[in-house]
A and B are shown apart, each in its own frame.
Chain A
């Protein structure tokens, strides 16, 4: 089996937003849609003892997603490899899934006409991977700092498996029980 996940190394991220722009540009997204914003937790603490971290986000491709079963039209789909995507031909943009997602990682563009509108979200660049099974998502390729690592969790030799097995990782809002599949290596001041 294949289970695609992403590891995000916050020790390496410097908040350049390249992933956000690369995703937007190469997936040709409308201006009001962002799949993977980078959140800045601005300098915290008292000067000069401050600390700053960046949290790149994207769809968590949850193992137990809220957004898939709630779709009245079967447009929100999870592949066997864990990728969650929306079939634009089925989506009526009723936005039930938008409300269901606890991470706020999907939305429909308001720059498109009602008929063309569908809910958009990150699909780990599913189109690209369909063309070339070994392709990496754009946000991973473009990252100068190698802060995003994408791969198959079920393959014990993959970089993501090794990282998740060896470094302390965290997931966002695990308490919701959605089993998110984006693993964060927090920046605790150590060396990446």
Chain B
């Protein structure tokens, strides 16, 4: 073959005619399916192009909040669906735990075997010996709780305590719901506190940039010069972990510089004077020493927020990751919002409340099936009361009294995860024998990884439901394949805590033997012998459709909703509190929270230092002089996910921690050097990113690292390298380091030392995997049993006021508002003797519960639709005509052509079956409800405007003249 300058040579033979990789989405048979991304909580809109049951291409949905944008993870959804590392079939362990030897068995067989084992453990040790761990809110959580409640165990948990839940509960104690729906369009100032949308919620970040251009002031509080900080108007680079001190100082400044909303505080805040005195000591100068921020910078921030009204404070994950100072900080922030009058106003922070127009997650959980004695057995509920049954019960009952609906128990009422892992190892307070891990890899995502790894190795029966063979799944007895993005329908209701809903369809049926989580829990429930009536939905779509039914939309299935509506938002209703007050027990913003006091905590935010710091623990700071912050999100990974996708991993192949050049020079560390980061609990190695994005005495280490490319079974001390570069080896879950209210454990503001890996000390060895309880103990193994670990703050005794009114049976008394409420319904017993429904504000009969219908002047039983008189006698109606069966004399006048039928209770014409209606003077045929005249019984023909004799068919005018 001649190869000349213009010839294409051999390429002609080896290259196809076109090398275009472009997929033709307009080809015949391609269907567009509206789906949602499932790789983080932002749930961006995705359009999936489906042909022959397979997705051939995806795009960002331009008509969704992401406006067509998709991040690294979203664009990789197709790589995720078809990734060769995905688990596709149910696996049963055949070798030793962790050996990686599996037998592939049918899904339903695996379900039955697991169910039998769980039932056996329940019979031997009680249902509470079975626990379940979750990760983020990307599973069908209500289905898990539905299973656990029917099974009878209170020990379900997520990483909830590190993500919003303690904050939500503290905010609810202050004002009755979390004010998390920022109305940014009308805001003049936005505080992004420990929140970096530039690496977590990208569609949101775009909105912030646009609004900033239009004049929104943005304050960023972050120890790291984050993506968001780089765009901020004011950046507060505080010492990690000192957020509570900063929040208290800002609250102090706002109050003592008289920048709060006088009118709002006067009218709506209860206990403000106490609060003012309480925060007197928290001056900016005081906070300056703790936070390393200039006192004037703190004042500037306080003034910027308080004087640019209305303003928003955006929740950030940091609030819940500081350990023992967590809830104090979010409590102070909740009060900053409140005293500035930024609650529920246009341009402020809106409180949506539970979904009143469709079913909430809580209504799907069957919490009423969990016995009271089981609630008391929930692990951690004796310590961390705000986020477990004791606190949830108070908050949830109050929500039912005020909103009429409540928060889901999933997320907001859970066992304390690390305490469950400790219970597996120690049997204290009782032995946990089985653990079902759904969508989580606790070794990487929960605190104190070395202890957690030990617990997962030790637990008698471990089940994992996951996409991948994670370090956790490696030790499982059974691994179930989970359906991922594109393979499952998605509903977004923000943990079941808001009144709006967004949805996406599944683009394709799950491949192989993968199942969505709802189906997993349903099948497991049925296999355990749970009542099929409680698992009435065949598919998750059926269930989602039921959730939406109360909306009365013109849809017949879930897919209709996605196709024609995609999202539902109730009409925006701000300033709701002006009609009936806030949703706290006292109906006001509680500056001194009564719920917190009732639980044995301080009702006002009281400073406590983060678990390790230079001021409170100088002896620790001496050995570990550098401050470590971790837990923050970073692109392109989400939690511990996506490390096994080469198409994403190439961006960030090795773990890098950030260190200031000044500190790096002092320690002899250069860019890219492998270094050890060590705290009292252990050490990990990461490479140095020498960059001035952190304070010269702070290092920032990213979360989640493991190495899926390794052989997990080769080193069971460190499977998949899950301890080697995992920051959770460094975090603390010791009770005294956890938040006594919310239970969140310490991720930020820890003290560490950093040193370069040397030739002799650069490998992670078995000695680095040695675990201990408590985590900071120098002695391996258990040296203090969990029940002997004390909390950082002592319980504050609280005595309820005595009830001075008589409480009738079936009612309970609420001390804050001195009212009686009916048990079960939580309706208020009014002074008039009626019950008042908080949701509708309607009156109900106290004896029967029937609703008073003012229009009809009667009572209505909504369950049956039957009407009753005010004397509670049933009202019989036929064709809308009231009848009086058994009444001898007619209660109304009727024409002489008719006769009273005492037995049936209405006037009738001869032996005709028609019923006389005294209101219209017509008679009705009960079979057809057609009109008949009262003289001859002729039927009225509305189309012709005449009367018809039904027997002969003769027609008459309205004055009975025969017509042709």
Contact = CB atoms under 8 A, between A and B. Distances in A.
Given A18-B75, A43-B692, A142-B60, A12 B70 contact: no
A12 B198 CA distance: 10
Contact of A141 (B6, B15, B60, B212): B60
A16 to B, nearest CB: 5
Pick from A51, A92, A145 the residue with the most CB of B within 10 Å: A145
Given A21-B651, A47-B237, A50-B693, 4 more contacts: A15-B635, A21-B648, A31-B650, A130-B22
28 contacts: A14-B227, A16-B71, A16-B227, A17-B635, A17-B651, A20-B651, A21-B636, A21-B651, A25-B78, A28-B21, A31-B650, A34-B650, A42-B692, A43-B693, A44-B692, A45-B692, A46-B692, A47-B660, A47-B692, A50-B693, A51-B230, A74-B5, A74-B6, A115-B11, A128-B22, A130-B20, A142-B60, A144-B70
A165 B205 CA distance: 27
Pick from B11, B21, B57, B60 the residue with the most CB of A within 10 Å: B11
Contact of A42 (B206, B227, B691): B691
A8 B15 CA distance: 35
A145 B647 contact: no
Interface in B224-253: 225, 227-228, 230-231, 235, 237
Nearest to A40: B691
Interface of A: 12, 14-18, 20-22, 24-28, 31, 34, 42-48, 50-53, 72-74, 88-92, 115-116, 118, 127-128, 130-132, 141-146, 191-192
A191 B647 contact: no
A14 B230 contact: yes
Contact of B635 (A16, A53, A115, A143): A16
A20 B70 CA distance: 11
A20 B9 CA distance: 33
Nearest to A126: B20
A16 B692 contact: no
Given A16-B635, A52-B225, A192-B213, A143 B69 contact: yes
B99 interface: no
Interface in B636-654: 636, 646-648, 650-651
Given A14-B230, A191-B213, A192-B213, A115 B14 contact: yes
A19 to B, nearest CB: 9
Contacts of B60: 141-142
A90 B8 CA distance: 5
B9 A92 contact: yes
A16 B694 contact: no
A48 B647 CA distance: 35
A47 B76 CA distance: 36
Given A48-B695, A52-B693, A90-B8, A31 B68 contact: no
B24 A142 contact: no
A73 B9 CA distance: 11
Contacts of B212: 191-192
B10 interface: yes
A50 B229 CA distance: 10
A144 B69 contact: yes
Contacts of A53: 230
Nearest to B646: A31
A42 B688 CA distance: 13
Closest 5 CB pairs of A and B: A144-B69, A144-B202, A14-B198, A21-B72, A43-B693
B21 A27 contact: yes
Contacts of A48: 225, 235, 237, 695
B651 A18 contact: no
Nearest to B237: A48
B71 A18 contact: yes
Contact of A50 (B9, B26, B206, B692): B692
A156 to B, nearest CB: 24
Nearest to A86: B19
A18 B237 contact: no
B179 interface: no
Interface in B64-101: 66-72, 74-76, 78-79
Contacts of B693: 42-43, 50, 52
A84 B692 CA distance: 39
B8 A89 contact: yes
A72 B4 CA distance: 10
B209 interface: yes
Contacts of B67: 144, 146
Nearest to B297: A48
Contact of A17 (B8, B72, B230, B235): B72
Pick from A15, A21, A51 the residue with the most CB of B within 10 Å: A21
B231 A14 contact: yes
Contacts of A146: 67, 69, 206
Nearest to B73: A21
A129 B79 CA distance: 24
A16 B59 contact: no
Nearest to A88: B19
B203 interface: yes
B295 interface: no
Contacts of A90: 8, 11
Contact of B72 (A18, A116, A128): A18
A130 B19 CA distance: 13
B854 to A, nearest CB: 51
B199 interface: yes
A95 B525 CA distance: 63
Contacts of A145: 69, 202, 205-206, 209
Contacts of A42: 689, 691-693
Nearest to A129: B22
Contact of A47 (B21, B199, B203, B694): B694
Nearest to A44: B692
A112 to B, nearest CB: 11
Contacts of B692: 42-47, 50
A99 to B, nearest CB: 19
A14 B19 CA distance: 33
